[in-house]
Chains A and B, each alone.
Chain A
Amino acid sequence: MESWSFEAIGTQWEISAEAPLDAETRAAVTGLVSEYDAALSRFRSDSILSGLSHGGGTVSLPRYTAELFSLFDSLDRLTGGRMNPLVGGSLELLGYGPGYRLTPQGPAAGAPPWPEAVRWESGARDDVRLSLDRPGTLDVGAAGKGQLVDLVWELVTGRGYASVVVDAGSDMRHCGPGLRVGLEHPFDPNQAIGVVHLQDRALCASATNRRAWGNGLHHVLDASTGLPVRAVAATWVLARNAMTADGLATALFLTDPSSLAAEFQFDYVRMFSDGRAEYSPAMAGVLFS
């Protein structure tokens, strides 16, 4: 296996395949990642989405964002509004925004209701037109990194490479010979709590330990209150693509697996802050005991 590593969108990427990626493929990957970041980053004041933060309005986004917003529509509905990209404004209030102030900017506040505030549709010019009826900060991070992993994986496999694994800060999309993936203990990075077998699908993890900035503040918020969630410490989701796995990994902080299983096919492990863990049937035997 040949692998290529680089840093982008604030995380480490590793792409491996049976054969080394040629220069043209690497350039295409780099271009795709930059395009995605320029369109959707909440941390760039010049991104297309950031254009909505002052007066709302309508923006034109790449065509593939239709899948992303469709996923967010479902997750907002299935979590009863607790998972909502407009939580970006609540995150900024707590200090997690451009400039990384990491000190609260005011009292916590819930996000505006997603279905009321946002309209989106596939546009006539092969794009997606998204309108926001008020100034707001959209944070697509809950599934966006996963979607970018998928887009990169599709680009590389589409060029004929075999056994392609795209890993962006441990959001992974895989095909080829199976891998053993350790589930990092959310309270001790020197330990794993189990091992899953990853083959021909995606694995994404979410935990509240990494992006935390003190006094109970971390990056997974309940959009209805604007406050960090507490009971769930870490989640791991296996699904057919990384966008879905990424989104569900966050959703599992906010709702029960059974409500998500009504519309999504996935496997999961989720660990609570009291040390308890629960898992889907196919994950039996994955956790150490």
Chain B
Amino acid sequence: MNSKKPLLTAAAGLALLGTAGCGSTGTAQDAASDEAAGASTPAASSGTASSGAPATGGQYQNGEYTATGSYIPPSNTKEEVTVSLTLSDGVVTDVEVSTSGNHPTSKRYQAEFTGGVQQEVVGKPLDEVKVDKIASSSLTSSGFNKALDEIKSEAAR
């Protein structure tokens, strides 16, 4: 099972290169690479082919390709994913993925999925937290905000 992780990570990096915005309506029928596309926020990407380049008509030339994608995780520390792969007769024969690991926890990404543990969560009153929406189990943010408004106006009396 663990051997699958680097592949998924590779797919995430590759998907960065081709992910469009709103229009790309990935459905669950798509391949695993699409599954990975949502893992990161596409910010910028650059690609270099050390030998050969994709030809037209869906054919790919043999060679070793390297591309780098960057994304901003919610920690707001820019991360880069570099993917190198070897193509032989249209088949990927080798894949290497490296991450910049700017944030300390990102370094562990490939080895271990639990990034961290906080011994005690800290709640902050919503008054002090500017958000666009609230993620709760089954209450809407609009209903939530209305309830909050009511509470606030009552408390202000």
Contacts and interface: CB of A to CB of B under 8 A. Distances in A.
Interface of A: 5, 11-14, 66-67, 70-71, 150, 153-154, 157-158, 162-164, 167, 169-170, 172, 175-176, 178-186, 188-211, 234, 236, 238-241, 243-244, 257-259, 261-267, 271, 275-289
B1 interface: yes
Contact of B116 (A11, A12, A150, A278): A278
Interface in B123-142: 123-126, 129-142
A289 to B, nearest CB: 6
Contacts of B108: 281
Contact of A284 (B25, B37, B105, B136): B105
Interface of B: 1-2, 4-5, 8, 11-12, 19, 21-23, 25-29, 34-42, 72-77, 103-106, 108-109, 112-126, 129-144, 147-148, 151
B26 A240 contact: yes
Contacts of A70: 28
Given A12-B143, A275-B120, A289-B118, A170 B133 contact: yes
Contacts of B106: 281-282, 284
Contacts of B119: 275-276
Contacts of B103: 281, 284-285
A182 B126 contact: yes
30 contacts: A14-B140, A67-B28, A70-B28, A150-B28, A170-B136, A178-B41, A186-B137, A189-B144, A189-B147, A192-B123, A192-B124, A193-B121, A195-B131, A197-B41, A201-B38, A205-B137, A207-B137, A234-B137, A236-B135, A240-B34, A240-B38, A265-B11, A265-B36, A267-B39, A281-B108, A282-B39, A282-B109, A284-B116, A285-B77, A286-B75
